[in-house]
Structure 1
């Protein structure tokens, strides 16, 4: 097992001849991710802040990426050492793959926590905390069906590279993270779908099987910048058909996928890196964007504006 792990790390880490990561398994559990996010927020104002990516990279290197070994005491022990003056460099100097996990988990999670400014019913609020949102708008019921890696056979046999959120047709879908709309339109597998790229270009969020006839938020188009929590479309069951606008999926749901991109040549290739977002979806599920309905257009929009790092984003009260 250690030999296999070493081979994977060599192929995936800095030691690759081409110089960029080619393989990532994101096996961070929801408990580990939640604990890391909480620790990040709790220590933000401390002189020795412990950010979530660094502590998870430390644990990833410690466990060889196997988070079934996760112990909360390992996380707090690391945080205590940082608080008491030890440096990350010193604590990780003998960890061969810390750099790899730092890059891999940084690509997956950079920006999940940060400074924000948001509107509320009582005014504007500034804080430090979760900056990513649930992909399902507030008050709308949904359930998660985690079958990442399961077999799909439509078209050809392949693994399922996403996380399914079961919800009623027409449920507003919201952007998990701010970014730029790269793709909108029909795909025989994903049906009506939207692809959104993060500002740092490391993450490509894929929202698929959107609603028949009116899949997207009104006036949304490729090239638009959206804010985390903006309504971007509606849950449906389109796809599994060469005929555009076909409901080929049995149960309505949102397919949420996340591709990591370390080099642009990976973006659409035979070596794409899609990770399991089950843990991420669980953690950001506590941060839902409230949507309001326009009775004339029957469209939903977010109710309260939201901004990160003083960069006020779109999103206005309906």
Structure 2
């Protein structure tokens, strides 16, 4: 892989082979009113490995397409998952079939493909890393764990459990238990859509993906200094960039109150097929437990910088570069 300067990145990204580009607008799938994500960790890991291995070949097996194929084959029942089914799919592609021909007669493939593209459409592709103006273009997983490297945390699948503060409701995220001050990182490149106090989530950040299909919610951030200094609504952030710090704020109408019993990050993901779903009774939140486990393989290394932390190595995403053009 050649070392390149920043000025050439856009050209290199745009002509790189093997990356599936998700171009559908947020309005194109407005008929989808309900979705779930129950893909097991093993399936995501295997699909990622095959995507990376084949992306520069004549028969690439794209991450999202592979998972959507299996979901359709299993009728959504991922208890039937076998890694051999992915190997068989790749063999069919190598024998000259295409994903279009393979899935042509599969009922519900389009549905699963749209849902999984909404969840993971920007998970795999080209990016660049480096420092000092010199960058290396790479292909692979572009998403990061919300917890920085070197910091411990624990969690279990608590999606859907009951919550009672304010009113009775379901828990629409995954609580990652950790230590106050742990650096919290952006999972995906995007822009800050919400920032500030909420009596349920305390200090929280809402980041929208650049394709507008995902809204990431990070809540219960640290008392006193919840965010990276200078973070503002409308600002673009890179995947793996430090955005805030783990805490225990919330459950209070008064700002900057530690109303939680234990320090943790509430991390959630909302799918948005139509902007009318963004803040409504039709919101679609998915279980991110397996996604958090999947992203544990890609944790951002950080270094202290005064009262804040910065990532140790630059990460550049084409969509971030285009945001400011």
Question: Is this a same-fold pair by TM over 0.5?
Answer: yes
1:38-187 alignment, distance < 5 Å: 38-119=49-130, 124-187=135-198
1:119 positional shift: 1.5
Cα deviations by residue, 1:167-222 (Å, 9 ceiling, x for unpaired): 10000000000001000001111110000000000000000000011100000010
Structure 1 CA distance for aligned equivalents of residues 56 and 319 of structure 2:
18
Give unmatched runs, 5+ long, in structure 1.
Answer: 1-17
Structure 2 CA distance for aligned equivalents of residues 96 and 56 of structure 1:
15
Cα deviations by residue, 1:262-318 (Å, 9 ceiling, x for unpaired): 000000000100011112111111111111112xx321111211112485599xxxx
Structure 2 CA distance for aligned equivalents of residues 109 and 181 of structure 1:
19
1:10-49 alignment, distance < 5 Å: 19-49=30-60
Aligned residue in 1 for 2:252: 241
Structure 2 CA distance for aligned equivalents of residues 313 and 251 of structure 1:
40
Structure 2 CA distance for aligned equivalents of residues 144 and 132 of structure 1:
19
Structure 2 CA distance for aligned equivalents of residues 305 and 19 of structure 1:
36
Is 1:199 the counterpart of 2:245? The answer is: no
Aligned residue in 1 for 2:316: 307
Structure 1 CA distance for aligned equivalents of residues 322 and 225 of structure 2:
24
Taking a change above 3 Å as real, the CA distance of residues 210 and 152 of structure 1, as seen in their structure-2 partners, is same
1:120 positional shift: 6.6
Higher RCO structure, 1 or 2 (CA under 8 Å, sep 6+)? 2
Taking a change above 3 Å as real, the CA distance of residues 228 and 313 of structure 1, as seen in their structure-2 partners, is farther
> Residues 206 and 258 of structure 1 are in contact (CA less than 8 Å); yes or no, is this contact kept in structure 2?
yes
1:19 positional shift: 4.5
> Residues 306 and 312 of structure 1 are in contact (CA less than 8 Å); yes or no, is this contact kept in structure 2?
no
Cα deviations by residue, 1:139-164 (Å, 9 ceiling, x for unpaired): 11112232111111111111111011
Cα deviations by residue, 1:60-116 (Å, 9 ceiling, x for unpaired): 111121211111111111111112111112211221100000000000001111111
> Residues 148 and 301 of structure 2 are in contact (CA less than 8 Å); yes or no, is this contact kept in structure 1?
yes
Taking a change above 3 Å as real, the CA distance of residues 108 and 216 of structure 1, as seen in their structure-2 partners, is same
Aligned residue in 2 for 1:3: none
Aligned residue for 2:137, secondary structure, equals strand
> Residues 169 and 234 of structure 1 are in contact (CA less than 8 Å); yes or no, is this contact kept in structure 2?
yes
Count, aligned residues: 294
Aligned residue in 1 for 2:301: 290
> Residues 189 and 320 of structure 2 are in contact (CA less than 8 Å); yes or no, is this contact kept in structure 1?
no
Say which is worse superposed, 157-166 or 208-217, in terms of deviation: 157-166
Aligned residue for 1:236, secondary structure, equals coil
Structure 1 CA distance for aligned equivalents of residues 203 and 271 of structure 2:
22
Structure 1 CA distance for aligned equivalents of residues 219 and 264 of structure 2:
9
TM-score of the two chains, using structure 1 as the length reference: 0.89
Is 1:223 the counterpart of 2:229? The answer is: no
RMSD: 1.7
Aligned residue in 2 for 1:12: none
TM-score of the two chains, using structure 2 as the length reference: 0.87
